[in-house]
Amino acid sequence: MIGNALPGAELVVRTIAETAIENEKYFGDLDAVVGDGDLGYSLARGFEKLLDGWDAIDRSDAGTFLKRAGMILASRIGGTSGPLWGTAFLRAGAAAGTAADLTGAQVVAMVRAAVEGIKARGQSDVGDKTLLDALVPLADRLEREFAAGAGPGDALRAAAVTTREAAEATSGMVAKRGRAAYTGERSRGSVDAGATAVAVIVERISETWQRQGATS
Amino acid sequence: MKKFVNDPKNYVAEMLEGVALANPGRLRYVPEYNLIMRTDAPREDKVSIVQGSGSGHEPAHVMAVGRGMLDAACPGDVFAAPPMDYVYETAKLLASPKGVLLLVNNYTGDRMAFDMGREMAEADGVTAEILTINDDVAVQDSTYTVGRRGVAGNFFVIKAVGAASEQGADMAEVLRIGRKVNDVTRTMGVALTACTPPAKGSPLFELGGDEIEFGVGIHGEPGRERRKIKDADAILDDMLEAVAGDLPYESGDRVALMINGLGGTPISELYILYRHAHRRLADRGITVGRSYVNEYCTSLDMAGASLTLVRLDDEIDGLLGAPAEVAARVF
């Protein structure tokens, strides 16, 4: 048991939103290397909208809360990122369902569901140099940590390291999806902006969790 | 380019308001979501049939709402897919115990908006399915698509699934029929001129005085090639060759034949094309069972036409012949 589902979901979503807004310029600069440079702006505007309506989001249960957040993000993040991030939250919410408490295995199932949603929506897979190249290693590491009996704090700390390594490793890849794909070989040598954004976000979630935990 | 527009920003909204005012008691306009819906929709005993795409293709799809056709149409701005939340809200408003069928012309933007809107509606407990229409034989992949585009053939899919749902068919049956009709429908268009989006005020592309765009898309996007203009029968021969050879339609087949105007061509010219198509099909041993000569799916004010064939069997023929009523009418 890693704690109460709804407070945990709220903490994670709020942390993602604040991180995306604070890193608007950084994410945008990363995306401008070979992409179209709109990632930072798009994510920041979408997550601002989410925080604007924060108190009004339906909190019947963690699943509903995540699904509502996904709908807001899908509609308010511009470009292709909206449907991708929105789908991730929608699928994670569907996987969480009405559970009041979540086990480590359930959290892993939520991340896996988000990954499958992004794959389907973006018609992409691991190795295409997208945020999936950070998310899948994240899910794998979380799964290993929870299976070995780690608590959420330790599992997150380990997963943050793995996610950062995976994001750095995208610099050796050629982009096969998104605007960066148009640059072919020239996309090699720079990290993927989406994967790096995931790494920064997971690091922040881990830090926040060590400070607060979710069982408040 | 002279047009009857006020503020181009309000082009779609003012058109939709006009459609609703002209059809009191039959159609309802929901301005928040660009939505035109039947006043008696949704019905508990019927799968709701919804189509959306960019505006600028009228009478598709807002004027195809009515008994035996669409229950609702949810257009975007001119040549732009509707926002996903419009799709989502539309699916919720049209929710029925028998489900909502979303008809989507195969364009990347439309598919993304409808996939996402459907997923959001499903998260709210609405049963919704998507059927993709891709009848255009001109090009395999285009500026806006992976795979073939959806063009004037969408009329036949709407007509068939509209009739089936009106007769009480369930979702699986309606989907089966829609896919079946899409599978035997092929279309090809030719442009004589470009079209002029109201917000742009100038033509989307340039065609020389003696040029045609063979295989043009309904947004004016390129087709197979630029060609020199010939007389009507010779152009029709080329179109028919491309369409008939694709399925292929063969001697002994019965077909529905549609000559669709792209918005800026007089109906008289459409009948000149129809005459030759009808005769040429007879030469091939193909019988025309149903004829359609009018504007069904346009590209604003583009001069041009498309030719559509549907291979008929008793089931499709019966559904195409079932009674229907839409806003675009002449009596």
pLDDT recorded at residue B44: 97
| HSE-up (13 A, CA, CB side) for residue B160 | 31
* Burial class of A51 by CB neighbour count within 10 A (0 to 12, 13 to 18, 19+): middle
Candidates A8, A43, A23, A10; CA nearest to A153 is A8
CA B236/CA B254 separation, integer angstroms: 19
User: Residue A195: which CATH number?
Assistant: 1.25.40.340
pLDDT of residue B143: 76
Min Cα distance B3 → chain A (Å) is 31
Which pLDDT score is estimated for B314? 98
CB-based contact, A87 to chain B, within 8 Å: yes
User: What distance separates the 2 farthest-apart alpha carbons in chain B?
Assistant: 55
Q: Is the pLDDT of residue A214 over 70?
A: no
Q: Is residue A43 part of a domain?
A: yes
B119 and A87 within 8 Å at the Cβ level: the answer is yes
- What's the pLDDT at A88? 97
Give B291's pLDDT tier (boundaries 50, 70, 90).
very high
Distance CA(B170)–CA(A102), nearest Å, equals 38
A67/B contact by beta carbon, under 8 A: yes
CB pair distance less than 8 Å for B123 and A90: yes
CA end-to-end span of chain B:
31
| B112/A contact by beta carbon, under 8 A | yes
How much is the pTM? 0.87
User: How is chain B split into domains, by residue range?
Assistant: 8-183, 185-313
Q: Is A124 on the interface with B (CB under 8 A)?
A: no
CA–CA separation, B326 vs B166, rounded Å? 14
Maximum mean pLDDT: which of A28-37, B136-145, B156-165 = B156-165
With CA atoms as reference, the chain A residue closest to B146 would be: A123
To which residue do tokens 């390291």 refer?
A: A161
Interatomic CA distance for residues B84 and B81, integer angstroms: 9
Tell me whether residues A121 and B116 touch, CB distance under 8 A: yes
Q: Does A69 touch chain B (CB under 8 A)?
A: no
Could you give the CA distance from residue B46 to residue B49 in angstroms, rounded to a whole number? 9
Instruction: With a cut of 50, say whether residue B13 has pLDDT above it.
Output: yes
Q: Looking at chain B, which residue has its C-alpha nearest residue A72?
A: B85
pLDDT over threshold 90, residue B128: yes
> Cβ–Cβ of B116/A74 closer than 8 Å?
yes
Contact between B51 and B61 (Cβ < 8 Å): yes
Q: Residue A127: inside a domain, yes or no?
A: yes
CATH code of the domain occupying B8-183? 3.40.50.10440
Q: Kindly tell me if the per-residue pLDDT of A122 is higher than 90.
A: no
Report pLDDT digits (tens) over B28-63: 999 999 999 999 999 999 999 999 899 999 999 999
Nearest to A90 among B85, B112, B119 (CB): B119
B 61-100 near A (Cβ less than 8 A): 83-85, 88
Integer Cα distance of B317 and B311 in angstroms: 9
Listed in order, strand segments (DSSP E) in B53-206 are: 72-73, 100-105, 128-133, 185-191
Number of residues that this document lists for chain A: 216
CB contact under 8 A, B116 and A67: no
- The verdict on a CB contact (< 8 Å) between A83 and B123 is no
pLDDT attached to residue B290:
98
Are B123 and A71 a contacting pair at CB < 8 A? yes
Is B276 a known active-site residue? Answer: no
The closest CB to that of B83, out of A75, A80, A93, belongs to A75
Contacts of A94 in chain B (CB under 8 A): 123
- The first and second tokens of residue B26, run together, are 């039959």
> By percentage, how much of chain A surpasses pLDDT 70?
97
Average pLDDT over residues A159-176: 96
**d(C-alpha B69, C-alpha B48), whole Å:** 10
Mutation to test the A interface, candidates B85, B112, B119, B124, most A Cβ within 10 Å: B119
Cβ-Cβ pairs closer than 8 A, A with B, add up to 32
pLDDT given for residue A75 in this prediction: 87
Residue of A nearest to B115 (CA): A121
- Residue B113 and residue B82 in contact, taking contact as beta carbons nearer than 8 Å: yes
**How is residue A7 written in tokens?**
């407070």
A180 pLDDT above the threshold of 80: no
Cis amide linkage into residue B61, ω under 30° from 0: yes
Alpha-carbon distance of B12 to B6, in angstroms, equals: 11
Assign B320 a pLDDT band (cuts: 50, 70, 90).
Answer: very high
For residue B258, give both structure tokens: 């549609």
Mean pLDDT of chain B: 95
Q: Which helix (H) or strand (E) holds B15?
A: helix B11-21
Domain count, chain A: 1
Round to whole Å and give the CA distance between A107 and A78.
28
Which residue of the set B57, B61, B276, B278 is catalytic? Answer: B57
Q: Stretch B98-105: mean pLDDT, rounded?
A: 98
CA-nearest residue to A70 within chain B is B120
SS3 label, residue B2? coil
Whether residue A1 has pLDDT greater than 70: no
Rg of chain A over all Cα atoms, to the nearest angstrom: 16
Q: Strand B100-105 to strand B128-133: parallel, antiparallel, or no bridges (unpaired)?
A: parallel
Does the pLDDT value for residue A48 go beyond 60?
yes
User: Contact at 8 Å (CB) between B309 and B252?
Assistant: no
As a residue count, chain B comes to: 331
Assess B324–A contact: CB distance below 8 Å, yes or no: no
Contacts of B126 in chain A (CB under 8 A): none
CB B301 within 8 A of CB B262: no
| A216 within domain boundaries | no
Identify all chain B residues contacting A84, using CB atoms and an 8 Å cutoff: none
In this structure, is residue A14 part of a structural domain?
A: yes
Give the per-residue pLDDT at A201: 98
* pLDDT (0 to 100) of residue B206: 87
Q: How much is the average pLDDT of A123-149?
A: 96
pLDDT of residue A216: 43
Kindly state whether B130 is in contact with chain A, defined as any CB-CB distance less than 8 angstroms: no
Indicate if the pLDDT at residue A215 is higher than 60.
no
A119 in contact with B, Cβ within 8 Å: no
**A123: pLDDT strictly greater than 90:** no
A3 torsion bin: left (phi>0), alpha (psi -120 to 50), beta (else): left
The answer on pLDDT for A212 being more than 90 is no
Tokens of B220: 């004016």
Does residue A84 belong to any structural domain of this protein? yes
Nearest to A66 by CA among A89, A86, A98: A89
**Cis peptide bond N-terminal to B59, omega within 30:** yes
Whether A75 contacts chain B with CB within 8 A: yes
Residue A33: per-residue pLDDT: 84
**Domain that residue A49 falls in:** 2-210
Indicate if B219 belongs to the active site. Answer: yes
pLDDT at position A213 is 66
Question: Cα separation of B78 and A20, whole Å?
Answer: 33
C-alpha distances in Å from residue B132, one per residue of B120, B150, B197: 18, 8, 25
Q: Max CA-CA distance within chain A?
A: 49
| B323: DSSP letter | -
Give the closest residue to A142 by CA, choosing from A154, A125, A130: A154
Tell me the Cα Rg of chain B.
Answer: 19
| Cβ neighbours of B83 in A, within 8 Å | 75
What's the CATH class of domain B185-313? Answer: alpha beta
Q: Between chains, do A121 and B120 touch, taking CB under 8 Å as contact? A: no
Phi, psi values for residue A128, rounded to 5°: -85, 0
